Amino acid sequence: MDATGTSPGLADSLSRLGTETAFSVLARARELERQGREIVHLEIGEPDFDTPEHVKEAATAALRAGETHYCPTAGIPELREEAARYLSRTRAVDIDPARVLVANGAKPFLFFTILATCNPGDEVVYPDPGFPIYESMARYAGGTTKPYAIRQANDFRVDLDELASLLTPRTKLLVLNSPANPTGGVLTRTDMDRIAELVAAHPGLAVLTDEIYGRIVHEGEAVSLGSYPGMADRTITLDGFSKTYAMTGWRLGYAIVPPFLLEAYKQLIINSVSCTSMFSQVAAVEALTGPQDEVEAMVAEFRARRDLIVAGLN
């Protein structure tokens, strides 16, 4: 504030930027804990487990080895290669490591995708209810937001006829989230078959498929649109370490990126954060290649809790 009692003011674009209110509630809950209150956390979307010990040990060893400097913007080759192997295995499609990029969490890829694909007025179609950042970032970029309803009556899956009606020549980006936040809904293979057909019928359409919960599936299977013929050049597949490996605070994510977006994403990473921390990426390699017992135990515990709550509510 200057001597006259006024401030320079904020950019108009900030009025279009929403927030993830769970973080506001988390801050208040943490403050109450500092005051000695006992809090049951139901606000933020993170596992209540610790990062596996072997992953933390890998990070500690990397720090002691001096892995504390700048690294390639796209991510260290070792992590990109291991992520490509993991994605190839779990998505049933061969992934070139050159198409895997690493960022400070999965969330930046949401922003990068919208900034790189959408001009003001272009349509972004996304799930509702869904992760609030889909709408927030689309609005901030000047996009026209078009939610598609996720209803309990449809097992928390998209109504495919409704989705088809929302796609127009102005639609530049379709957002998919399966397994979904916050409903837990999982799109079936039949659903994905139809979605692939809809995308193929709209040649100007890109798809962001948020698969951050891909390992936390209790029934059925998680099907990835990027594994369908012709979809690899249209689809950004998003994953990360926060949910699967309880690494929310590490801020580490990765994505399979179509060739037409690779250089744009690198430019956006350079202009925003330069690169992702080196020692965190070394730990992420260990997460992907090391023992998976703790991941399996965590998912089993989530399933047991789900069953207990559902039985109690019923």
State pLDDT tens for residues 6-25: 778 888 888 888 877 888 88
Q: Which helix (H) or strand (E) holds 294?
A: helix 293-313
Q: Which helix (H) or strand (E) holds 126?
A: strand 123-128
For residues 36 and 107, give the distance between their C-alpha atoms in angstroms, rounded to a whole number: 32
Give domain status of residue 107, yes or no: yes
- The range of the structural domain enclosing residue 159 comes to 53-294
Q: What pLDDT does 17 receive?
A: 81
Residue 269 has pLDDT above 80, yes or no: yes
Q: Domain holding 180: CATH number?
A: 3.40.640.10
**Mean pLDDT in the chain?**
93
Give domain status of residue 224, yes or no: yes
Q: What pLDDT does 20 receive?
A: 76
For residue 182, is the peptide bond before it cis, meaning its omega torsion is within 30 degrees of 0? yes
Contact in structure between 254 and 83 (CB atoms under 8 Å): yes
Give domain status of residue 32, yes or no: no
For residue 258, is the peptide bond before it cis, meaning its omega torsion is within 30 degrees of 0? no
% the chain with pLDDT above 70: 98
Contact in structure between 250 and 227 (CB atoms under 8 Å): no
Closest residue by Cα to residue 245 from 210, 282, 208, 297? 297
Q: How many domains would you assign to the chain?
A: 1
Give domain status of residue 116, yes or no: yes
Q: Is the dihedral of CA 226, 232, 238, 243 positive or negative?
A: positive
Residue 2 has pLDDT above 80, yes or no: no
Give domain status of residue 314, yes or no: no
Give domain status of residue 213, yes or no: yes
State pLDDT tens for residues 173-204: 999 999 999 999 999 999 999 999 999 999 99
Residue 1 has pLDDT above 60, yes or no: no
Residue 262 has pLDDT above 80, yes or no: yes
Give domain status of residue 310, yes or no: no
Give domain status of residue 64, yes or no: yes
Residue 4 has pLDDT above 70, yes or no: no
Distances from the Cα of 211 to the Cα of 27, 141, 182, angstroms = 27, 23, 13
Distances from the Cα of 311 to the Cα of 47, 120, 304, 308, angstroms = 22, 47, 11, 5
Query: Residues with Cβ < 8 Å from 289, sequence gap 6 or more?
Result: 82
Q: Scan for tokens 């699967």, then name that residue.
A: 244
% the chain with pLDDT above 90: 85
For residues 193 and 229, give the distance between their C-alpha atoms in angstroms, rounded to a whole number: 11
Closest residue by Cα to residue 155 from 121, 197, 186, 118? 186
Q: What pLDDT does 45 receive?
A: 79
Closest residue by Cα to residue 230 from 198, 190, 263, 261? 198
